[in-house]
Each structure stands twice: as structure tokens, then as C-alpha cells.
């Protein structure tokens, strides 16, 4: 829908329900990438995208399954239905998580974080670990990538951009103070564990805790655990004595 609007109508039009599935909160580049698909039958695009999201879900889950560590496999099993739900509804979350799982602690990590942040904002918190570790170049590259991808929003009319988190706002519905308290707890955990093997998992927890509009599939950011944690989780086949 955003790609179709990009061909001649406002990208961010007036909306009655900020929680509607048709609401576009993403940077314009994502809509632009879909413009060629607006010339393909909508049902075919929908089926193809859902299948692609299921494939991305498999990519996101595979490192935990491959580790053969019961704790990590259990984590994957708990979050797999959330990825499946996101895939069925065509949400981009499985692709975001798969990209982060595969890149976050590698050379492409800053770019993966920047792209994710341009779509859902809060993944920019992953850069806090770079900062704590003194990896300032990687931190700046991630922030720069997010800014470059997000800046074109300023070329559009943002007067109707949906700032309200809508009815599915998690702790925000309880109280903005409850949301802020959770965000502080997540950030504190990140700062405490950023230097350790669980640093990326702590960053994922901070991302989840900071989201005022927390949907069930946002929990799948917890799949971004990093190679260090996967390799240090103990032997895959403990020997009985």
C-alpha cells in the first residue's frame, strides 16, 4: 500500500486508527523498494512475501538449532510461533531479525543495525554495545546508515505521520512512567553486560524493553544473541558419568 501511494498520493496520509495494519511508519526507501511489485498481481506478491518471511524465520532460528544447546534451542522454540505469526501477517520482522542474527557481530553488523533502525527505530540501541566496547567507528557507521536511510522522510509531508503508538502499546498503555522504567531497566542491563559474552542478548533485551508499541513478535529480537553466546553455551552433548 505504501508503494502504491508513493506513485502519486501522500506516503503518510491522514489516518483514523494508528494501530491499523495499513499504517506505514517505515522510512521511504522500503516503500520505494516495493514499487516494482505494484505492477504484479497483489495476491501473488502477498503469497510470495509470506513465503519469504517464513524462509527468513528459518534463517533467524537456525543458529540456535544448530548450536544443539538445550537452552538456546528452547529459546528458539518459544519464539518460533511469534515469527510464524509475523510471517503469516506479512510483517517484515522475520527479515529484520534474520539480518541481525547473521550480521550483528560481523563486519556487516553496523549496516544491518542501520537498516533495521531505519524501519523500527529502536534497534539503534545495538550501537550502545559498540560504544561500551570502544568500537566507535562501527557505532558511527551504524548511526550514519540509519540517518542516511531515514533522512528522505523529510522530503515528504509528515504532518500526519503516526506518532501515537496506537492501542497495542504495551507498557505505554499502563503509563508512560511504566514504559520509561522498563526502558531504563533494559538499558541498565545492556550497560552491565555489554562487555560480556551475553552482550548482544542484553542489547536485544534493551531493544524489546524500549519499545512503547510492543507487539508479540517484537519479542523475537531476543533471537539476536551473537556468536560469542552461541559458542560459550557449553558442550552440545554432555557426557553422563
Lowest mean pLDDT among 18-32, 80-94, 99-113, 129-143: 18-32
C-alpha 93/C-alpha 120 separation (Å) is 9
Query: Is residue 240 scored above 50 in pLDDT?
Result: no
Cell matching residue 107: 563486519
Burial class, 41, CB count within 10 angstroms (exposed 0-12 / middle 13-18 / buried 19+): exposed
DSSP secondary structure, 166-229, as one string: -S--THHHH-HHHHHHHHHHHHHHHHHHTTSTTHHHHHHHHHHHH-SS--GGGGGGGG---HHH
C-alpha 188/C-alpha 53 separation (Å) is 32
Q: Classify 100 as helix, strand or coil.
A: helix
The pLDDT of residue 239 is 46
Mean pLDDT (whole number) for 150-170: 81
Phi then psi for residue 154, to 5 deg, are -70, -15
Mean pLDDT (whole number) for 45-59: 96
pLDDT digits (tens, 9 = 90+) for 58-78: 999 999 988 878 888 898 999
Query: Is residue 162 scored above 90 in pLDDT?
Result: no
Residue with cell 529484520: 96
Chain center to CA of 9: 28
The pLDDT of residue 140 is 97
C-alpha 110/C-alpha 127 separation (Å) is 8
C-alpha 217/C-alpha 158 separation (Å) is 27
Mean pLDDT (whole number) for 5-34: 84
Cell matching residue 82: 511469534
Query: How many other C-beta atoms lie within 10 A of the C-beta of residue 205?
Result: 21
Q: Give the pTM.
A: 0.88
Query: Is residue 235 scored above 60 in pLDDT?
Result: no
Amino acid at each position: 500500500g505504501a508503494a502504491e501511494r508513493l506513485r502519486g498520493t501522500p506516503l503518510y496520509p491522514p489516518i483514523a486508527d494508528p494501530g491499523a495494519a495499513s499504517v506505514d511508519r517505515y522510512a521511504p526507501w522500503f516503500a520505494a523498494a516495493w514499487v516494482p511489485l505494484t505492477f504484479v498481481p497483489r495476491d501473488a506478491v502477498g503469497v510470495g512475501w509470506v513465503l519469504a518471511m517464513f524462509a527468513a524465520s528459518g534463517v533467524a532460528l537456525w543458529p540456535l538449532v544448530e548450536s544443539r544447546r538445550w537452552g538456546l534451542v528452547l529459546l528458539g522454540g518459544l519464539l518460533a510461533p511469534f515469527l510464524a505469526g509475523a510471517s503469516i501477517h506479512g510483517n517484515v520482522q522475520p527479515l529484520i531479525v534474520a539480518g541481525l542474527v547473521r550480521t550483528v557481530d560481523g563486519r556487516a553488523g553496523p549496516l544491518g543495525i542501520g537498516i533495521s533502525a531505519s524501519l523500527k527505530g529502536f534497534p539503534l540501541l545495538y550501537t550502545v554495545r559498540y560504544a561500551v566496547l570502544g568500537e566507535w567507528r562501527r557505532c558511527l557507521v551504524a548511526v550514519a546508515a540509519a540517518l542516511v536511510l531515514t533522512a528522505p522522510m523529510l522530503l515528504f509531508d509528515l504532518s500526519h505521520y503516526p506518532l501515537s503508538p496506537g492501542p497495542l502499546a504495551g507498557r505505554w498503555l499502563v503509563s508512560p512512567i511504566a514504559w520509561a522504567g522498563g526502558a531504563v531497566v533494559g538499558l541498565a542491563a545492556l550497560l552491565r553486560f555489554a562487555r560480556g559474552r551475553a552482550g548482544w542478548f542484553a542489547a536485544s533485551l534493551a531493544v524489546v524493553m524500549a519499545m512503547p508499541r510492543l507487539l508479540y513478535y517484537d519479542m523475537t529480537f531476543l533471537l539476536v544473541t551473537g556468536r560469542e553466546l552461541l559458542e560459550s553455551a557449553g558442550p552440545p552433548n554432555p557426557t553422563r558419568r
